[in-house]
Amino acid sequence: MFTAFARYRRPLAALGILGPTAYLSYKYYNTPVPASTFQISIRQRTADGKVERVPMSLPLLPHHEVERRLKQHEILARLPHGWRYTTSQVNSNDPIEDAHASAVVSPGELGSSAGEMLMFAVMDGHGGFWTSKLLSKTLLPGVALELQTLNEVSPENSKGSGIVPGLLAYVKSAFSPHGSSSSTPPPVHKPKVFASDPTYVQIAMKTAFANLDSEIVNAPYRMLAPILSQLGNSPLDLEKYPMLLPSLLPALSGSCALVALVDTTHNNLYVACTGDSRAVAGVVDADGRWKVDVLTEDQTGRNPTELKRLQSEHPADEVDHVVQRGRILGGLEPSRAFGDSRYKWPRAFQERLAQALSGTDQVLRKPPAALRTPPYVTSEPVLTHRHFNTSPPAGGPALRFVVLATDGLWDELSSSEVVALVGAHLRGTRGPVPKAELAGSLAEGGNLGLDGKQIQRKPYTAGESWTFEDENLSTHLIRNALGGGNAMELRKSMSIPAPHSRRFRDDITVTVVWWEDHDTLVGAAESGSAQPPIRARL
């Protein structure tokens, strides 16, 4: 990934003349000095307008600064009923375009067996941080409110109620120039009964996604239409409309979103995916070995299912244009996202808005050349449901953990590698482990899903290893994604500043959720029912 380090050497002393003292001096000065810089290749425009690659020398961050940046956003939390989760993130963009959220929602008074609904989300923004930041404040409250409404009416009469006014007010105020009137989302009142039917829970989640994106995309449209009509051909003065820009920015940028709900009352796991973030589960099989269960598909133009869907939603003469080079209209990689009004608004409206903004600091990109029948991007999530058993029968498979991560992690690690890394960590593995050895710890089969990015991964070499040194499982995955057991590779990766770092790595946000049962995870050695920890090699 990077060019070799420069090494500095000192002249050789005349050993025969100066004796032992000279030998010690020779050994000191000829010991390779750790490099303080390294080189990357960057693109640079020459005087004649051509773009060429030139070397760029960068300072190498010290070890302690790399560790600080790796761990500065760590979260490690213990939840009710033995559930645990970690979150960590590392930026490449400055500011970071990823976001995350979590919440615990009480189901109300259900007697002694009452449990909670655990909610987790990661958001992968693009074109700015505005959409992902807004989603981190509003998406989980929106889902919770839809679930609350689902419990207040009978399933037969429930067709999705939409977001209640309290949440709409919160969404609208989230990017107010004066800030939200409250630092917390509107309260979610405890329902008397929590719905246990997976069909209706998934409807509620889809409704929350759709209504929130509708507000993001349509609110500025509704606000702008009368303003542009009054202006005619005059430029837009943003200072006269202080609410316009905070409403407009989340619509102009975009974000993928991945939400996991753990219903601890009914032992149901729900995953809702909009975009190309990915959720992967680790399942313990009858022999105590880890199996991979990929819970989502990468929603990109390279995904055959998404390609077929997009082509079916537009006229026949657009079949060859809706996806170009694996991207939507040749530009956007994810085929589902919040915001991204450039792919949802009519061309005439976008061109009129661009004209009105031409005299301001806000530059609006031109509509895609092939845009004819929007929308081309949807926020509708694809839902996955799994039933888990915290007390599985002897020898039965058991879902033990779920990893949610933005695509920055999956650019570097496969689903199988992630399950192996988390599974071995939960069983107590520490220190360096050869990559090939860890790969052999997984059981064959499983659900490997579909890689919508079609990344070609290189085979392991003899000297490559993983490292197990972090308590936080999310940081553990990020460290291994960026360097594995090669600490110097990690230092170089973390030392590249924005915007150059974006050529080498993306923003990475990881949340790991697991149910902690020592006996199941580690296994009873005398029974041989579970695989023992992998022994680290020094």
Whether 56 has a pLDDT exceeding 60, the answer reads yes
For 257-309, give the DSSP string: EEEEEEETTTTEEEEEEESS-EEEEEEE-TTS-EEEEE-----BTTSHHHHHH
Is the pLDDT higher at 99 or at 525? 99
* Dist CA 170 CA 177 (whole Å): 14
**Tens-place pLDDT, residues 230-262:** 888 888 888 888 889 999 999 999 999 999 999
**Tens-place pLDDT, residues 169-178:** 554 455 444 4
pLDDT of residue 196: 76
Beta bridge partners, 89, equal: 509
Q: What percent of the chain has pLDDT above 70?
A: 78
Residues of the chain with CATH 3.60.40.10: 63-522
Model-level pTM?
Answer: 0.83
Q: CB-side exposure of 230: number of CA atoms within 13 Å?
A: 7
In degrees and rounded to multiples of 5, residue 308 shows phi and psi of -65, -40
* Dist CA 354 CA 396 (whole Å): 60
Using pLDDT thresholds of 50, 70 and 90, give the confidence band for residue 21.
very low
What's the average model confidence in pLDDT over 403-409?
98
In degrees and rounded to multiples of 5, residue 494 shows phi and psi of -75, -15
Which parts of 295-446 are beta strand (E)?
323-324, 327-328, 338-339, 382-387, 398-405, 431-434
Sign of the dihedral through C-alpha 327, 330, 331, 336: negative
What's the average model confidence in pLDDT over 40-58?
90
**Tens-place pLDDT, residues 215-235:** 999 999 899 988 988 888 888
* Dist CA 195 CA 479 (whole Å): 39
* Dist CA 197 CA 465 (whole Å): 45
Whether 303 has a pLDDT exceeding 90, the answer reads yes
Local structure of 463: helix, strand or coil: coil
**Tens-place pLDDT, residues 70-129:** 999 999 999 988 899 999 999 999 999 999 999 998 765 333 344 688 999 999 999 999
Helix ranges (DSSP H) in 162-239: 165-173, 198-231
Using pLDDT thresholds of 50, 70 and 90, give the confidence band for residue 362.
confident
Amino acid (one-letter) located at 307: L
Dihedral of CA atoms 353, 359, 363, 368 in degrees, nearest 10, equals 40
pLDDT of residue 192: 41
Structure token pair of residue 450: 């579909």
Lowest mean pLDDT among 116-130, 260-274, 289-303, 358-372: 358-372
CATH number of 63-522: 3.60.40.10
